[in-house]
Amino acid sequence: MESGAPSQREVLFSVRNLSKVFPDFGGKGGGFRALSGLNLDIFAGECLLVAGSNGSGKTVLMKILAALMDMSGGEVLFRGLALGKALPRLRRELGLVFQDADAQIVGETVAEDVAFGPKNLGFSGSALEERVNRTLESMGLSAKRDFPSRDLSGGEKRRLAVAGILAMGCGIIIMDEPFANLDYFGVLQVLELIRDEKARGATLIILTHELEKVLAFADRLLILDRGKLRDDGKPEDVLDRLLPEYGIRDPRQSYRSAGDCTWLPA
């Protein structure tokens, strides 16, 4: 397994032999292994795509990297420091878009929600206002700025979650299923954000099974399958090696007519 990222780049996260075991509710004992023996380095400035079917461990990995969940074994370093020690820096540098957009809502109104992160980072007055306005505009939420956040539609909540992270200007962004619930324009807006953040030099970690939407921006593709890291490399190479058991559709397959447009092979 070769890595697609150049080795001379600064390592942000070092993951060594990481495992996560949840208590077993089935009575069999031994627990449920959500992650087993993961080894990977994540480099500054790369756009890393983590693909895997439902339950493969993507969100658990994200939560552990973000120090929101304990690991059961192994080690994760952030900039060479154990996560516990690196916590203040990690909190400053890392922005998260959660899979569950509702879990991310912190402000009563849309504008208050977007302002929350930058305020915590010390922005105020016109600098804060300008940031919030620009971000709402880029995620198509300007008209909803005084709307109660909780009453947004599912896709609007996803836009809001992305807007909140964008407004913080974080150097590292992890997005868990950022396209879920989004309509066509919503997907385009998130893709533009990914493109712009990448150009700005941000490190992007995108967890998704919707490869076809974003693969072009990926420097590296990881495949998680039942808690194991099955592949890690340049997207083109990893796709050439895809196994059916990973449950991932090769997005290079195209459609010729409306009659071909289904994911279920004829």
Ligand X SMILES: Nc1ncnc2c1ncn2[C@@H]1O[C@H](COP(=O)(O)OP(=O)(O)OP(=O)(O)O)[C@@H](O)[C@H]1O
Q: Tell me which stretch binds Mg ion (CB under 5 A): 41-49, 92-100, 232-240, 255-263.
A: 92-100
Tokens 């890595």, residue? 3
Q: Which does 36 bind (CB under 5 to 8 A by kind): Mg ion, ligand X, none?
A: none
Q: Which does 55 bind (CB under 5 to 8 A by kind): Mg ion, ligand X, none?
A: ligand X
Contact 227, 36 (CB under 8 A): yes
Task: Please state the separation of Cα 72 from the chain's center in Å.
Answer: 22
By C-alpha distance, which of 183, 164, 168, 188 is closest to 101? 164
Question: Rule CB under 5 A: is residue 208 a binding residue for Mg ion?
Answer: no
Q: Which does 52 bind (CB under 5 to 8 A by kind): Mg ion, ligand X, none?
A: ligand X
Q: Which does 56 bind (CB under 5 to 8 A by kind): ligand X, Mg ion, none?
A: ligand X
Cross-strand bridge partners of residue 49: 206, 221
Task: Please state the separation of Cα 126 from the chain's center in Å.
Answer: 30
List 36, 56, 99, 203, residue binding Mg ion (CB under 5 A): 99
By C-alpha distance, which of 226, 117, 212 is closest to 161? 117
Question: Rule CB under 5 A: is residue 104 a binding residue for Mg ion?
Answer: no
Which residues of the shown chain bind ligand X in the complex (CB under 6 A)? 22, 32, 34, 52, 54-60, 99
Nearer residue to ligand X within complex by CB, 113 or 231: 231
Q: Which does 185 bind (CB under 5 to 8 A by kind): Mg ion, ligand X, none?
A: none
Q: Which does 126 bind (CB under 5 to 8 A by kind): ligand X, Mg ion, none?
A: none
Nearer residue to Mg ion within complex by CB, 110 or 211: 211
Contact 250, 219 (CB under 8 A): no
**Radius of gyration of the chain from its Cα atoms, rounded to whole angstroms:** 19
Nearer residue to ligand X within complex by CB, 113 or 176: 176
Structure tokens at 46: 């790369």
Nearer residue to ligand X within complex by CB, 8 or 54: 54
Q: How far is the CB of 63 from Mg ion (least distance, A)?
A: 9
By C-alpha distance, which of 42, 262, 76 is closest to 173? 42
Question: Rule CB under 5 A: is residue 149 a binding residue for Mg ion?
Answer: no
Calpha distance 186→193 (Å, rounded): 11
Nearer residue to ligand X within complex by CB, 22 or 185: 22
Q: Rule CB under 5 A: which of 42-81 touch Mg ion?
A: 58-59
Question: Rule CB under 5 A: is residue 189 a binding residue for Mg ion?
Answer: no
Q: What is the DSSP string of 87-114?
A: HHHHHHHEEEE-SSGGGG---SBHHHHH
Q: Rule CB under 5 A: which of 232-251 touch Mg ion?
A: none
Q: How many CA atoms lie within 13 A of 111 on its CB side?
A: 14
Residues at the contact surface with Mg ion, assessed by CB under 5 A: 58-59, 99
